[in-house]
Amino acid sequence: MQWLLFLRAPLGLRRCWKVSGVIALLVGSFAASAQTRQDSVTIRRLYDEALLRGQSYENLRHLTTRIGGRLSGSPQAAQAVAWSKKTLENLGLDRVYLQEVLVPHWVRGAREKAFVRIGRANKQPLAVCALGGSIGTGGRLRAGVVEVNSWAQLAALPVLEVAGKIVFFNRALQPVHSETFQAYFEAVDQRNEGAVQAARRGAVGVLVRSLTLAHDNLPHTGAVRYEEQTPKIPAAAISTLGAEQLSHQLRLTPGLELELEMHCQTLPDVLSYNVVGEWRGQTYPEEIITVGGHLDSWDLGQGAHDDGAGTVQSIEVLRLLKATGLHPERTIRVVLFMNEENGNRGGLTYAELARQNSETHLAAIESDAGGFTPRGFRVEASPAVLTTFQRWRHLLRPYQSDKLSANQRGVDIGPLKTQVKALISYDPDDQRLFDVHHTAADTFDKVNRRELELGGASIAALVYLISRYGL
């Protein structure tokens, strides 16, 4: 209709309209260019602050070396709650508070022991650790071993060949994938479901090859699932070198026996907390941007990459914004979730309280892939929202944080899926993550200061853009 009016108008008027349109187009272009320059300058300031005066690394030093591993229900987890609450309060936020979360309390007990027994005198030790949530062996378990590499192979075995045995799941991570997470996701089902599937066929225990591409003697823990209608059997991880040793011995001596001793047990649930820090937006305070990591970790190491890095980066986002003189248009809420590793009760609680309070959640960002070099973000959102993220990529490109991928991986933010416009995972280079993931090697000295601080700045830059422009 506007073009029809233009064609019917007198020539002089049409010329005026043309000039006015060109001027409007130029003004709009200049305004957009000025906006881009302002955003570029602001993001540069965030990175400068992080690289010159970043606090993530020293916060991580305290969390990992002064407190240590923070398994849900442990005294260390309680110390981490108190420390992170105080750290957020020191930022001068509008509100810092705790959300009650009833968490499982599993304890490992004395160090696990495992031996391959060949004949009466020959005993060879194996590096093992209990999987999180496993029952203990009730003394020393001694049984024959049956090796499988797939569910189909287990299902094809006669019940009599499995009953009374320890099932050894030896499916290795595939090194051909450029993303190690893909290899991990292809193999993690044997750790999660192995005890149930083996018990259904009469097995008395399970050993699971550690989920890593590294060849070493570090067993990797992680959660195991049981079901009420199936007998619970002890479940342990075996190091990759131990797995190859055991597989080799089984080929030489099919009738060998394995001795396994684990003292783990599950105690009554314990009251713990999500730690929440909130900075209210000055224009749209009802629209919430959540950024977080999980405060708990496994107990073998110090929980540095998983997920101390995500915890301190989330805290650093607010510090960076404050230090550079910014005030958010929308409310920014840092959430340090409890119990991601063996229950996700913190994430479920946060989402349920958000639903009960009828909150408006614009975006939820989680950092839980280690404190490695930033690469970009994984975004789960509508096509229209994804287009918005695409328009921002050039602002992150100078810092090599502009890669956008699908399929976000955040466990804690997953329960928010129906309540939020965008679920976002911070996506660093993951090539080294599964070398230390869930092991005694996940310690502070494995984290590079510069990589960690760059990650916090990358998340802060994205939070700034979402806060300023919305989704």
How buried is 200 (Cβ within 10 angstroms: 0-12 exposed, 13-18 middle, 19+ buried)?
middle
Q: Which residues pair with residue 252 across a beta bridge?
A: none
Q: How many CB atoms lie within 10 A of CB 444?
A: 19
* Burial profile 239-257: b = 16 or more Cβ within 10 angstroms, e = fewer: bbbbbebbeebbeeeeebb
Catalytically active residues are: 340
| CB distance 452 to 312 below 8 Å | yes
H/E segment holding residue 76: helix 75-89
Q: How many whole angstroms separate alpha carbon 271 and alpha carbon 458?
A: 34
466 within 8 A of 330, measured Cβ to Cβ: yes
**From CA 433, how far away is CA 444, in angstroms rounded?**
13
Q: Quick one: tokens of 107?
A: 């304890």
% helix / strand / coil in the chain, to the nearest 5? 45, 25, 30
User: Are 300 and 439 spatial neighbours (Cβ–Cβ below 8 Å)?
Assistant: yes
For residue 300, the 8-state DSSP code is S
Q: Nearest-CA neighbor of 166 among 199, 209, 124, 131?
A: 199
